Chains A and B, each alone.
Chain A
Amino acid sequence: MSTQAGVVAPPASLARRFVKAVEDCLIVTGRNLRHFVRQPQLLIFSTIQPIMFVLLFAFVFGGAIGSSLPPGVEYVDFLLPGIFIQAAAFRSTQTAVGLAEDLDRGVIDRFRAMPIARPAVLIGRTAADLLRNVFVTLLMTAVGYIIGFRFRTGVLDAAAAICVVLAFGFALSWIFTYVGLRVRGAEAAQSAGFVAIFPLVFASSVFVPVSTMPAGLEQFASVSPVTVSVDAARALSIGGEVAEPLLQSMAWVLAILLIFVPLCVRRYRRMG
């Protein structure tokens, strides 16, 4: 910067503005990542929770549910991709909480009164949550390996499975970005998140095959974005039909992003 500190040069070209927008996103992402590190209790609990689910479901239900699985499939192998998705779904509600907290504290007002690329605050939020998902998912994989989970496919398939989980979590983050922008207060955001996520996660193939459910529920569960994402991640982890659930999952992710990103940006612009 050739000008003196404290004197702003207006942005020149479109390209410059784009670079500035990317920088803004990175700065806000960095700020949110710092928040994770500064609130270790949050990170610890959001990590312990999925680990707890892995252990509880694997050992408590493993024996009973194992018999309804296809022959030759271990419950822990069946369960873990589901738990990845379940954990990502629950964590996505934190996007709403983080945003609601920022709104309460007035930090967002300051951002909004500054010459910052408009979507930077929202992208910074969801990008940081995505990076957190990477960390937590890898950690859960490690815990899974300790209790006997194995990727039964190749490295690329395993990486693709993780990517399905991350894409799913990222899409949900945008839904909860919208919730965070609409709901006043972090606690309200948290409750709203759980009300939406609980039925979706349990009425799905996360814990049990949907074929074991009553007919109406099975119909709902088999088209749910949770189920198709779990099925895709599961097939990529332990083998099975990949193409169909993967396409369905990607369709859901795209649809959610196409609807909610513009909604969020619009809401953010017009907020007051």
Chain B
Amino acid sequence: MAETTSTAARVQGIVKRFGTTEALSGVDLEVAEGSVVGLLGPNGAGKTTLVRVLATLLRPDEGRAEVFGLDVIRDAGAVRELIGLTGQFAAVDELLSGRENLRMFGRLFRLSRRGAAVRADELLERFDLATAADRQVKTYSGGMRRRLDLASSLITRPRILFLDEPTTGLDPRSRNEIWSVVRELVGEGMTLLLTTQYLEEADQLADRIAVIDHGRVIAEGTGDELKDRVGASMVEVRLEEPDELGRAREALRGLSCEEHQEAEQPGQIVLATSGDDGVGMVAAAARALDSAGIAVRDLSLRRPSLDDVFLELTGSATADGAEAADTSDAGRSAAGDGGEAPEREPAEAGR
């Protein structure tokens, strides 16, 4: 189970258009058996579309998609035997009880009446739904629904499970519950393709992360690899006087870190730290600014968010950042020496 290297899902050059918009513009992706791949991207990036293609719900316009070597169009029936799908919107029957839902899906998966009943009980127990088993699903909380949805996908122990934004819209407690269930599944060796908008979620659950934007995979790697591109963490400086930006940059130049391209507010500087020295960097920045006599409103250490990874990878922020810097009085020189040159690289590497 742990040593298999076969491919559970393979996507090559998938293009999908809806009218004039291209939801997927040539996606390539591979999910090794037994691994957990996180598909990370903002709303509208094409994550759900890709999952729907793999789950045989959507025909791609171009390209190939295979699940365990089976073509999702030609061998759709066989693919459906192997997959489990938990959608963004809980696809369970609201008017039936949790137990009825699971029994119905079990029967449709060719379990005997008795087999379906036994399996339903097992899953209700496992997903902590036993006490609510006979209540109509419309009375369930968001987290309970999501758990039932997940249970419904596991009736036949699929060989690959697609989880489309499993925690979007959930409160933190429910999110943690879903995470722990997913971790258990991973522990059992389940192959997983998970979509999410949250870097943290991908980071927590996935072995590898593929970043998707505008229907294209723009980067792939482990969570650490992706975060290294942004810097382990960032020091955010907000000045009391936006006019002092130039002086502040001057004062901070001595520190061994680069200025991150993102600076969406006037009087703000974001420094990318290169290692685990975040706290030291905060202290150093504070000393440098203090000795230069520059008033600081806020100085903080921040973990990279999806936004940061995104801005770094798409490079679109490089243009924005440079523009913003150019319009400020002192920006020109700083954008030239600190910000611009190093940022180009990852954007190209991502392609």
Chain A interfacial positions (CB closer than 8 Å to B):
1, 5-11, 20, 23-24, 27, 31, 34-35, 38-39, 105-107, 109-116, 270, 272
Contact = CB atoms under 8 A, between A and B. Distances in A.
B169 to A, nearest CB: 14
Contacts of B89: 105-106
A257 to B, nearest CB: 25
Interface in B58-105: 58-59, 77-78, 80-81, 83, 85, 87, 89-96, 100, 104-105
Interface in B8-27: none
B91 A106 contact: yes
B110 A27 contact: no
Nearest to A1: B112
A116 B108 contact: yes
Nearest to B154: A6
Nearest to B60: A272
B274 interface: no
A272 B91 contact: no
B111 A112 contact: no
Contacts of B292: none
Contact of B59 (A6, A106, A116, A270): A270
B118 interface: yes
B323 to A, nearest CB: 39
Contact of A6 (B80, B136, B156): B156
Given A31-B104, A270-B59, A109 B96 contact: no
For A23, A34, A110, the residue with the greatest tally of chain B CB atoms inside 10 Å of its CB is A110
B88 to A, nearest CB: 8
B95 A38 contact: yes
Interface in B123-170: 136, 152, 155-157
Given A10-B81, A105-B91, A34 B100 contact: yes
A23 B112 CA distance: 11
B52 interface: yes
A8 B110 contact: yes
A264 B118 CA distance: 35
Given A31-B104, A35-B95, A11 B110 contact: yes
Contacts of A11: 110
B110 A114 contact: no
19 contacts: A1-B111, A5-B115, A6-B111, A9-B110, A27-B107, A31-B93, A35-B95, A39-B95, A105-B91, A105-B94, A106-B90, A106-B91, A110-B87, A111-B108, A113-B80, A114-B80, A115-B80, A115-B81, A272-B52
Contact of A27 (B85, B104, B152): B104
Contacts of A110: 85, 87, 91-92, 105, 152
B48 to A, nearest CB: 11
A73 B56 CA distance: 59
B109 A31 contact: no
Interface residues of B, number: 39
B77 A115 contact: yes
B185 interface: no
Contacts of A106: 87, 89-91
Contacts of B83: 113
Contact of A113 (B55, B100, B118, B136): B55
Contacts of B240: none
Contact of B58 (A38, A115, A272): A272
B109 A114 contact: yes
Contact of A38 (B90, B92, B136, B157): B136
B119 interface: yes
B57 interface: yes
Contacts of A1: 110-112, 115
B122 interface: yes
Contacts of A272: 52, 57-59
Contacts of B115: 1, 5
B92 A114 contact: no
Given A39-B95, A105-B89, A105-B94, A7 B156 contact: yes
A242 B271 CA distance: 88
A114 B156 CA distance: 10
Nearest to B153: A110
Given A1-B110, A111-B108, 5 more contacts: A1-B111, A6-B157, A9-B110, A10-B78, A112-B56
B214 to A, nearest CB: 20
A178 B86 CA distance: 26
B93 to A, nearest CB: 6
A109 B104 contact: no
Nearest to A120: B108
Contacts of B52: 109, 272
Given A38-B95, A105-B91, A115-B77, A6 B119 contact: yes
A18 to B, nearest CB: 14
Nearest to A20: B110
A135 B54 CA distance: 42
B297 to A, nearest CB: 47
A9, A10, A11, A109: most-surrounded residue (chain B CB, <10 A): A109
Nearest to A27: B107
A214 B94 CA distance: 49
Contacts of A109: 52, 57, 85, 87, 91
Contacts of B95: 34-35, 38-39
A23 B85 CA distance: 22
Given A34-B95, A34-B96, A38-B136, A113 B108 contact: no
B185 to A, nearest CB: 14
